[in-house]
Amino acid sequence: MAQQFSRRHFLQAAGATLATLGWSQVDVLRRGDRYGRVLAQSTPRKLALLVGINDYPQDGLFPPLNGCVNDVELQYHLLVHRFGFKPSDIVKLTDQQATRAGILTAFEEHLIKQAQPGDVAVFHFSGHGSRVLDPDQDFPDGLNSTLVPVDSLLPAGFPQNGGSVQDITGHTLFLLGSALPTENFTMVLDSCHSGGAKRGNLVIRRRSGGSSLTMDEAELAYQEYWLSQLGLSAEDFIQRRREGIAKGVAIASAKRDQYAADAPFEDFYAGAFSYVLTQYLWQQTGSPSFDSTLGNVARTTTQLSFSNQEPQFETQPGSSYDSLPIYFTQKTTPPAEAVITHIQGGEAEIWLGGIDPRNLAAFEQDAVLAAVDAGGQEQGLIQMTQRQGLIGRGRLLQASLPSGALLQEQVRGVPTNVTLRIGLDESLGRDQASARAALAAIPRIEPMTLGQGEVHYILGRMTSDYRQDLAGQPDIPAENSLGLFSQGLDLVPGSYGNAGESIAAAVERLQPKLRSLLAARIVKLTLNPGSSRLNLSVTMAPEGGGQLVASAFTVRGSSTPPPRPGIEQIPIDTAIQFQIQNQEPRDLYLSVLVIDATGEMAVIFPNQWTASTEATLLPAGQTLLLPNPNQDSFRLVTQAPQGTTEVLIVASSNPLDTALRALQGMATRSGVATGPVGIDDPTQIADNLIQDVSRQSQESNETLPVQPVSVTQLAALSITFDVI
């Protein structure tokens, strides 16, 4: 009311003056009303309620979480700095604030009562999910999915004894959505309703539930209140919610029977889905739709958590909201890796929400970020001095910069001595100490206790329980064999030995694989499809042409629209071919690496091992066909094992001399003159590649703590597909 009165008061005061121009006060009010309606349509108010709960009661019945409050910050900074939400229009409820009453009251007061038709509303929840008995039996299992507020305790004696809980049910969320005056509503739920407390090094965002738990009287009374307010009969309520969601779009971090990961990233925790979603949206040059966004973030979420976490979304029945911009909001700011949140003197505090989770280690010391205006023009530089979690600090290199300025990557600092962290699974039992000692003896391998931070892989023993979890998968390792898991306990194919193998023998056998996995981590620290300024594109198709299978390109170096989402499945024995285009006005130097499902690495370009350093050259404006049937004597054919294969394409404006010489030495020792070659020391090759592309290592012989890599000198892309 205050805003409406203020506008009319201004128009009334101006009426006498405007009347002299032939406009009556009625005309002014009519024109003002029309302008107000247009303004409301073109610049809607944007409201958000963000809920994150780490601090659940530590009663042993379900675990506290670590990353949910960070999820709130991830969404907050994204909505404010990339989608134009006003900080005053965002309510955050964390930990002890996020009681059942607190969440419901905030939803009513902030979203339902303040939103107007055409406004934008967002509700995000990160915390535990659960299930309770559904008296209406909407699903075959007879259970209703719920959100768990901080004060919803399990009954005494659970699970032997059941009872009521103070959860917020899916039925209540439907009614709250129905009560919103706007259709432009997005609900994001980073929780799940199945699985145990932990899996590998990840905590599952799920509290135990089931048919022995029921809705409490307050929940049932609250639903009756909203049915009355909305004029819905019980029968209509059941019918409508079975048809679909009430309003807008609902995004879930996993399917109903899957897991949602509370995951460690370097030195902090977050929801795997929330981090991937928000980081992806920081990087986009346009306004991606719900459909394309969820398709693109799903694969990365699965890679960073479990194979059993696939994000989903649902739209209001009869709508075409899947094709609308996510959050129903057009972005007006350029893509960015970070934003300045505070300036004091010549120092800046930075939020690094746009950094790829796999690249965080390269954004600590000596990384350089450029502040840009709304048109993407550089306004000044910041050199980072430290990072803790997603908060960085740096010094201004030139000019004064405002708080809120967006930052784009200019230089990242790849650490010289990157390590591979291997978690020790509880299945090792008393052998954990000997496993720790054996792994610690391998250069750049860092053994870690699970639950103490991010690990890249887990060393464990195949137990009967693990075999049962893997039932139905091909080539399940023998019980009591030793090998590697992912952080979320997915198998690393080809890493398991014979049953009864000793720890010492297993670690010795795994050393080549560990070196390959370390090399892959080093190279992936350079991946920069969102920030590189080089104009490079890659496509993959069946040999001899045909339908495009996959593509990758540098987003800021190209005007090409984003690739379609998803990941392709390619049968074994399929011949494939790559087309790599250098669309720069200068020559680039190229290396193409393939990492199969077992972690083994091979080089498919360069592949002329007796040639000079020009063997890696891709001239300006030229296209490389790989393999080229007119000159290459080999084919690229998918082979076992089944699983994910990743192709890494590294293009540099600097010659790749050091890496090429090392590869030529390996090819000579293998007796290979042309064609792809396996790498017997992949860590050395990865280090050589980083040294070659680093602009500073070309000028100094001393060992530097980090290798600076500029976005104007490097494009590192990835194409991933499943071999089936």
- Cα 588 from Cα 361, distance rounded (Å): 26
pLDDT band, residue 16 (cuts 50/70/90):
very low
Q: Are 357 and 479 in a shared domain?
A: no
Angle among Cα 489, 494, 498 to the nearest 5 degrees reads 95
Q: Is 314 domain-assigned?
A: yes
Q: Are 463 and 611 in a shared domain?
A: no
Q: Is 526 domain-assigned?
A: no
**Predicted pLDDT at 700:** 54
> 426 near 450, Cβ under 8 Å?
yes
Which of 415, 430, 448 is at the close of a domain?
Answer: 415
Residue 615 has pLDDT above 60, yes or no: yes
DSSP structural state of residue 108: I
Q: Are 561 and 659 in a shared domain?
A: yes
Q: Are 466 and 411 in a shared domain?
A: no
Phi, psi dihedral angles at 682 (to 5 degrees): -65, -30
**Predicted pLDDT at 8:** 27
| Three-state secondary structure call for residue 478 | coil
> 539 near 548, Cβ under 8 Å?
yes
Residue type, 458: I
Average pLDDT (38-56) is 79
User: Among the residues of 587-643, which ranges form H helices?
Assistant: none
Residue 550 has pLDDT above 80, yes or no: no
Residue type, 469: D
Q: Is 531 domain-assigned?
A: no
Which of 398, 415, 432 is at the close of a domain?
Answer: 415
**Predicted pLDDT at 702:** 63
**Predicted pLDDT at 557:** 62
- Cα 411 from Cα 134, distance rounded (Å): 54
> 295 near 237, Cβ under 8 Å?
no
**Predicted pLDDT at 37:** 35
Question: What percent of the chain shows pLDDT beyond 70?
Answer: 90
Name the residue range of residue 149's domain: 46-328
Average pLDDT (82-93) is 96
Residue 20 has pLDDT above 70, yes or no: no
Residue 720 has pLDDT above 50, yes or no: yes
Which of 459, 491, 518 is at the close of a domain?
Answer: 518
How many domains are there within the chain? 5
Q: Are 570 and 683 in a shared domain?
A: yes
Q: Are 69 and 95 in a shared domain?
A: yes
Average pLDDT (123-139) is 93
**Predicted pLDDT at 11:** 26
Q: Are 593 and 664 in a shared domain?
A: yes
| 490-533 residue pLDDT tens | 888 889 999 999 999 999 999 999 999 999 999 999 999 888 99
Q: Is 528 domain-assigned?
A: no
Angle among Cα 79, 301, 248 to the nearest 5 degrees reads 45
Q: Is 679 domain-assigned?
A: yes
Measure CA 459 to chain center.
25
Q: Quick one: which of 138, 262, 122 has its CA closest to 192?
A: 262
Whole-number Cα distances in Å, 400 to 7, 16, 58, 406: 36, 46, 47, 14
Q: Are 317 and 447 in a shared domain?
A: no
Provide the edge-to-edge strand list for the sheet that holds 46-52: 90-94, 46-52, 120-126, 184-190, 249-252, 312-315
**Predicted pLDDT at 26:** 30
Residue 286 has pLDDT above 90, yes or no: no
pLDDT band, residue 558 (cuts 50/70/90):
low
338: left (phi over 0), alpha (psi -120 to 50) or beta: beta
**What predicted TM-score, i.e. pTM, was given to this entire model?**
0.88
Whole-number Cα distances in Å, 316 to 206, 368, 539: 26, 44, 36
> 121 near 179, Cβ under 8 Å?
no
Q: Which residue has the higher pLDDT, 680 or 499?
A: 499
Residue 682 has pLDDT above 70, yes or no: yes
Mean pLDDT over the full length of the chain? 86
Average pLDDT (696-719) is 78
Find the CATH number of the domain harbouring 225. Answer: 3.40.50.1460
- Which of 64-78, 134-148, 299-313 is the least confident region? 299-313
Residue 197 has pLDDT above 60, yes or no: yes
- Which of 167-181, 270-284, 484-498, 656-670 is the least confident region? 656-670
| 355-383 residue pLDDT tens | 998 899 999 888 999 999 888 888 999 99
Measure CA 94 to chain center.
22
Work out whether strand 420-424 and strand 445-449 pair parallel, antiparallel, or are unpaired: parallel
| 97-123 residue pLDDT tens | 999 999 999 999 999 999 999 999 999
**Predicted pLDDT at 662:** 84
Q: Are 686 and 546 in a shared domain?
A: yes
Q: Are 437 and 306 in a shared domain?
A: no
Strand spans (E) along 376-500: 378-388, 391-396, 406-415, 420-424, 445-449, 457-461, 482-485
Average pLDDT (444-448) is 96
Question: What percent of the chain shows pLDDT beyond 90?
Answer: 59
- Cα 452 from Cα 413, distance rounded (Å): 25
Residue 56 has pLDDT above 70, yes or no: yes
Residue 706 has pLDDT above 80, yes or no: yes
pLDDT band, residue 696 (cuts 50/70/90):
low
Q: Quick one: which of 291, 102, 131 has its CA closest to 206?
A: 131
Q: Are 381 and 483 in a shared domain?
A: no
| 388-416 residue pLDDT tens | 999 999 999 977 889 999 999 999 999 98
- Greatest distance between any 2 Cα atoms in the chain: 98
Find the CATH number of the domain harbouring 514. Answer: 3.40.50
**Predicted pLDDT at 592:** 92
Q: Which residue has the higher pLDDT, 457 or 612?
A: 457
Q: Quick one: which of 132, 134, 133, 111 has its CA closest to 246?
A: 111
> 63 near 198, Cβ under 8 Å?
yes
Find the CATH number of the domain harbouring 342. Answer: 2.40.10.170
Q: Are 671 and 693 in a shared domain?
A: yes
**Predicted pLDDT at 568:** 76
Phi, psi dihedral angles at 529 (to 5 degrees): -60, -30
